[in-house]
Structure 1
Amino acid sequence: MKNIFLYLALILLSIIFIMPFMWMFSTSLKSGEDEIFSYPPKLLPETFNFSNYKKVLELFPWLTFLKNSAIITGLSTIGIVLSSSLAAFAFATLEFKGRDKLFILVISTMMVPYYTTLIPQYILFSKLGWIDTLKPLWVPSFFGSAYFIFLLRQFFKSIPKELFEAAKIDGCSIFQIFYKIYFPLAKPAVITVVILQFMSAWGDFFGPLIYLQSEEKYTLVLGLNAFRGMYYTSWHYLMAATCMVTIPSLIVFALGQKHIIGGITITGMKS
């Protein structure tokens, strides 16, 4: 009986959380505002009007926005995985003076609000001539993330130290130990980092809003905001555009959710 009530509660909560997405998708297929605001409300459209998506693609250069979002998301994800995994491996396995103090310093940066460093970063990128380019949105990823360094470091700490020692005896270099032993074994944690970074970069609005000025440099999220300002009364078009922006991140999350749970669970709190 306990499990029955638990599953009933989970099903109810799932319906509550999925309803906005169902309504968004349903509205994107409706023919106009008369059908959208009909009373009583109808979840399913009378006719599935997929031409709304074609019309949205004609109204705005979504393919250009998609390319920009893909570049930023892809490069930032690669940068985060490479830099954070290397730093985490060093903190987990290598012995050097001040290692633990340096790790605490890295972790402490998580307490610094993003907006505190926003103006210095903007001035720096302006001096470099990177304003109105995609570089400010992906280059910093190659310098690591404190949260992901912590996450991967905890996972690396759970790998038996004997593997590291055995590889050294067999003549492996430090980098060979990393990419032949530790990195493959950390697959659940790495996939977790990839998914979380993908969703963060794909849905980022504030960064592109600050650094991008030309329309041809817009990301999908920034383009959606501009589209909302121009076509806010055409709810079927707006919902179609929102679906195109939202669906990729939902697919990535659905495919990798078990890895997120597994990666964070296995990571534990080993020090």
Structure 2
Amino acid sequence: MKKKAKSQHIKFHGFHILYYAVLTLFAICVVLPFFWLVMTSLDHFDSYSLPFPPRLLPQEPSLFNYEMALKNVPILSYLLNTFILVILCVLLDVVVATLSGFCISKGRFPGRRFVLLFILSNMMVPFEIKLMPIYNIIKDIGLSNNFFGVILPGVMTNAMFIFFIKQFCDNLPSDLYEAGVIDGASKFRIYAQIFLPLMGPVVATLVVLDVVNVWNDLLWPMIVLTDVDLSTIQLGLVRYNT
């Protein structure tokens, strides 16, 4: 009996070793490119071509590349523009998505299902197809070369976030809403004081997704922001490389 238990313990222990070995291998595969990227940026090169074979550690550690980047490219201005865009976009997305999702989930008004279907149908149309009509609208209302010209189309067409909030609110007990109504709270107060605090986990997820999406966005800012001083980090780097 003891031998059998010992054999099972060895097998279980061996499985754990293999499990963590595989996890470690995956972690190395994920971290290594970022490590190599940082180390390469700290190496001093006489030209822009990388050495072959590539080396993992810099032979001549230097901040020369960063000094040249700050000297030749207004990267701090690009970063500031990007941070402003990210903050404004995330705030508006959270407000619009939480309000819309809450109203569609807990509201009782005619055509509620049609409104949800109309919002979700927006996800079926690629942004590239809607690009020219949206740009013409932005241009006609005078929002070209303006951060709000970049932000508003994304906020108004962000069906995925609204759908996430709606599904989350559907899973919350209706007793919460009814208790607020019985206590005489307005619909906005029920939203702000009861449901919004409970939306913390899903809102945090949406914020992360939105930050990554806005930070990496290139096509729409390139069309709307023709003024170089308003360039985001992605747009500025593309313009510098070309």
TM-score scaled by length of structure 1: 0.78
Q: 1:162 to 1:144 in 2, by over 3 A?
A: farther
RMSD: 2.0
8 Å CA contact retained: 2:78, 2:231:
yes
Which secondary structure does the structure 2 equivalent of 1:7 belong to? helix
Task: Map 1:71-90 to 2 at 5 A.
Answer: 71-90=84-103
Aligned partners of 1:200, 1:19: CA distance in 2, in Å? 24
CA contact (8 A) 1:77 1:141 kept: no
Q: CA deviation at 1:50?
A: 2.5
* 1:26 alignment partner, one of 27, 33, 39: 39
Task: Pick the structure with greater CA Rg.
Answer: 2
Provide the C-alpha distance between the structure 2 equivalents of 1:212 and 1:222, rounded to a whole number of angstroms. Answer: 9
Aligned identity (percent) is 32
Displacement of 1:35:
11
Pairing 1:135–2:142 present = no
Residue of structure 2 in register with 1:180 after alignment: 193
**Hey, what does 1:151 align to over in structure 2?**
164
Alignment of 1:89-168 (within 5 A): 89-143=102-156, 145-168=158-181
Instruction: Give the one of 176, 200, 216 matched to 2:229.
Output: 216
Secondary structure of the residue aligned to 1:117 is helix
The one-character-per-residue Cα deviations of 1:146-185 (angstroms, maximum 9, x if unpaired) are: 1001111111111111111111111111000101010101
- Offset, 1:47: 3.7
C-alpha spacing 1:38/1:202, structure 2 compared with 1 (3 Å)? closer
Equivalent position of 1:199 in the other structure = 212
What is the distance in 1 between the residues matched to 2:193 and 2:211?
Answer: 25
TM value normalised by structure 2:
0.87
Gaps of 5+ in 2: 1-13
SS in 2 for 1:44: coil
1:34 Cα deviation from its structure 2 partner = 7.3
Q: Identify unmatched segments of 5+ residues in structure 1.
A: 230-271
Aligned length in residues: 229
Separation in 2, partners of 1:103, 1:3? 47
The structure whose RCO (Cα within 8 Å, separation 6+) is larger is 1
Q: Which is worse superposed, 181-190 or 122-131?
A: 122-131
